[in-house]
Amino acid sequence: MENKANALYIQSGGPTAVINASAYGAIRECRKSAEIDRIYASEHGILGVIRNRLFDVTETMEEEERLPFTPSMIFGSCRYEISEEDPDQKDYRAVLETLKERNIRYLFINGGNGSARAGLRLGKFLKSRGYEIRLIVIPKTVDNDISCIDHAPGYPSAARHVALTVSELARDMMTYDTPLIMFAEVMGRNTGFLAAAALAAGEIDRGPDLIYVPEVVFDRQNFIEDVGTVLKKKGKCFAVIAEGVKTADGKFLFEDTSVNKGMDMQKNMGGVTPYVSGLLRQHFQCKIRGIDLGLMQRCGAHDVSEIDRKEAEEAGRQAVRAAVRGETMKMVTIERENGKEYNARYGLVNLEQVAEQDKSLSLSYVTEDRHYIKKEFLEYVMPLIGECPRYTVLKTPYVGLDDR
Provide the percentage of residues in the chain whose pLDDT is more than 70. Answer: 95
Asked whether residue 391 is assigned to any structural domain, the reply reads no
pLDDT digits (tens, 9 = 90+) for 263-290: 555 555 668 999 999 999 999 999 999 9
**Average of per-residue pLDDT values in the chain:** 94
Say yes or no: 9 and 131 in one domain: yes
Catalytic residue among 37, 56, 86, 143, which? 143
Strands (E), 12-59: 36-42, 54-56
| 225: CATH | 3.40.50.460
Are 251 and 367 members of one domain?
yes
Residue 359: pLDDT band by 50, 70, 90 thresholds?
A: very high
Domain count, the chain: 2
Looking at the fold, whether 130 and 167 belong to one and the same domain comes out as: no
Number of other CB atoms surrounding residue 129 within 10 Å: 12
| Same domain as 330, residue 207 | no
Instruction: Answer yes or no: do 310 and 225 share one domain.
Output: no
Residue 392 falls within a domain, yes or no?
no
Does residue 287 sit in the same domain as residue 198?
A: yes
Over residues 41-82, the pLDDT tens digits come to 999 999 999 999 999 999 998 999 999 999 999 999 999 999
Active site residue 264: no
Q: Which helix (H) or strand (E) holds 101?
A: helix 90-101
Q: Look at residue 9 in the predicted model and tell me its pLDDT.
A: 98
Domain co-membership, 86 together with 103: yes
pLDDT in tens, 148-204: 999 999 999 999 999 999 999 999 999 999 999 999 999 999 999 999 999 999 999
* CATH number of the structural domain spanning residue 25: 3.40.50.450
How many angstroms separate the Cα of 32 from the Cα of each of 14, 52, 58, 271, 361?
28, 25, 11, 45, 39
Residue 395: band (very low, low, confident or very high) from pLDDT cuts 50, 70, 90: confident
Q: Say if residue 36 is in the same domain as residue 116.
A: yes
Residue numbers of the domain that contains 377: 157-300+361-385
Residue closest to 119 by CA, chosen among 159, 92, 156, 90: 92
Inform me whether the pLDDT recorded for 399 exceeds 90: no
Distances from the Cα of 331 to the Cαs of 1, 36, 44, 153, 283, in angstroms?
21, 20, 21, 13, 49
Mean pLDDT of 244-265: 77
